[in-house]
Structure 1
């Protein structure tokens, strides 16, 4: 069964970016660079203006989710600073970093709590969607789901991604268990890929 992800609240994201951009500073980070949500004294909201970022769990590096521009990250961490995850750039990125102490007064002034609520609900729903993909699921359906997700990436990104690494980083499954499923799919001509596990092509996945 293919599980559909929640719909991004694009209007809420655009509204928050427009409102908060004047309060922040623009920063540039290179691909694979990691940044924290803040310091002991401060927390930040990040506006993703250009590029793709992921959120990783610090304890084991598990990739919890990825998003391309435009996006807004950090409200959950601002209200509940557990500091159990961090941001990683998947590509070269341009971000606006906004001191969280300046965010709430501006949200209050402009009456934007609905936009904050829509964005926070999306993030919570996305984590439920992610859990539905992998928790208590057999390995083949999990692999199939992430193969389809990988297949939907823009071609220039998709062709640079290693299939095994993509799935393992998001699921915690062993490389051998993923390879068993992927190799069987290729042998039976359900999928194809080039040497090294790149340039995935899906022909027709089994039910």
Structure 2
């Protein structure tokens, strides 16, 4: 089995994502709050009872969609924090005009915290440095991701997104349909996506495994769920 070359695809490590910053915020903020659990495909509302909230995601994967056409602009896996950018308009009483919305890509668990309460805790516990680190990471992630998608041909986009999906935890990957994952982020037709996947399979860069898992004795690879699973090995194309 050949390996798929990742090129410049941005696959963040725990250190880059600054898990410590996220977990530190979770530890201070999640107190006496009941978690909310939603299934894949459901919308995560940051507006609850006409009040803006910060959402602390403790389980699952989400995607950020552009409101005008539902194109997926970004994604993430737990632990994470949603609503920091939207909270700006609420804090400074600006006209609310959010261009994005959030959808659960897998089953998710999260804790909603009113923006006012979140800011008070951030002030009291000196969490603003952690918050800044999280926002800087997001800028770096989006910049690198755009470099791999904007102005690229279909093959390059699909390759980058397959490798991005591989960066997800295994438990989340098994809930995600690879074909939908690619189409929602690129606008490519299903037929074009399947054509590229078929060509990768024919070239022995991916293997259709009909939802079977990888045995421990096999070389490292990853599984993506399309209509069947795909194992992609790391050998340069």
- Normalising to structure 2: TM-score of the pair? 0.77
**Aligned mate of 2:229, from 187, 199, 206:** 199
How far 1:155 moved relative to its partner? 4.5
Q: Work out whether residues 9 and 145 of structure 2, in 8 Å CA contact, stay in contact via their aligned partners in 1.
A: no
How far 1:63 moved relative to its partner? 1.9
1:82 corresponds to: 97
Indicate yes or no: 2:67 matched with 1:58. Answer: yes
2:190 corresponds to: 175
Q: Where does structure 2 lack aligned partners over 5 or more consecutive residues?
A: 1-6, 90-95, 211-225
Name the CA shift for 1:33/1:189 in 2 (closer, same or farther; >3 Å).
same
How far 1:163 moved relative to its partner? 3.0
- Aligned equivalents of 1:98, 1:111: Cα separation in 2: 17
Indicate yes or no: 2:154 matched with 1:145. Answer: no
Q: Work out whether residues 61 and 172 of structure 2, in 8 Å CA contact, stay in contact via their aligned partners in 1.
A: no
Q: Let me know the Cα RMSD of the aligned residues.
A: 2.3
Secondary structure of the residue aligned to 1:60 is: coil
Deviations 1:90-148 (A, max 9, x none): 22222110000111122111211101100111122222122112001122111111222
How far 1:16 moved relative to its partner? 0.8
How far 1:188 moved relative to its partner? 2.1
- Aligned equivalents of 1:205, 1:82: Cα separation in 2: 45
Which structure has more relative contact order (CA 8 Å, sep 6+)? It is 2
How far 1:205 moved relative to its partner? 5.6
Count residues in correspondence. 207
2:203 corresponds to: 188
Indicate yes or no: 2:31 matched with 1:22. Answer: yes
Q: Where does structure 1 lack aligned partners over 5 or more consecutive residues?
A: none
2:80 corresponds to: 71
How far 1:153 moved relative to its partner? 4.1
- Normalising to structure 1: TM-score of the pair? 0.87
